[in-house]
Amino acid sequence: MAMRQESPPMRLYRRVGHADLSAVGEIRAALRDFLRCRRRPEETDVAELLLSELVTNALIHTRNGAVVTVTSMAARLRVEVRDFTAGQEPAPYVPNADDGTHGRGLLLVQSLADSWGVTAKALGKVVWFELNVVTP
């Protein structure tokens, strides 16, 4: 019986400039195109939402832009957003009633991703999440 070989991971890589909030829509579109034939639409929707939250956080809270890396594997999708600013690690934020729409990004990541975390680097950090593939 022949063993089925797993295909190699496919990657999407983009650099986003500091304070370029229009890049959030562009990176979402790039992710959507990248995942079009690789993931189901509902998985793509969740990945887009979480990616836009992480990219927005990186652009608002850092000064040096960010690098986005998306890795699509047979069993999961991993999205990483790296910034280049030393300092505090992000933490889930519980917004108060008057907070409008700010501060909910990491709560969304925490509730919708199968796993997520922060990896410190010599300069900056990587905030990442993974989504497992739903098999029919």
- Please tell me which residue, 70 or 18, carries the higher pLDDT value: 70
Average pLDDT, the chain: 84
- Please tell me which residue, 136 or 131, carries the higher pLDDT value: 131
Would the pLDDT of 28 be above 80? yes
**Residue whose structure tokens are 């991993």:** 78
Which residues lie closer than 8 Å to 70 by C-beta, 6 or more apart?
11, 12, 13, 31, 34, 47, 51, 77, 78, 79, 80
Would the pLDDT of 99 be above 70? no
In angstroms, rounded to a whole number, what is the distance separating the alpha carbons of residues 128 and 79?
5
Would the pLDDT of 22 be above 70? yes
pLDDT tens digits, one per residue of 35-73: 998 898 999 999 999 999 999 988 888 888 899 999 999
pTM of the model: 0.83
- Please tell me which residue, 98 or 42, carries the higher pLDDT value: 42
Would the pLDDT of 1 be above 70? no
Helix spans in 1-136 (H): 22-35, 41-61, 105-112
Overall average pLDDT of the 3-23 stretch:
81
Would the pLDDT of 30 be above 80? yes
In angstroms, rounded to a whole number, what is the distance separating the alpha carbons of residues 133 and 42?
11
* Percent of the residues in the chain that have a pLDDT greater than 70, as a whole number: 82
| Residue 113: other Cβ atoms inside 10 A | 19
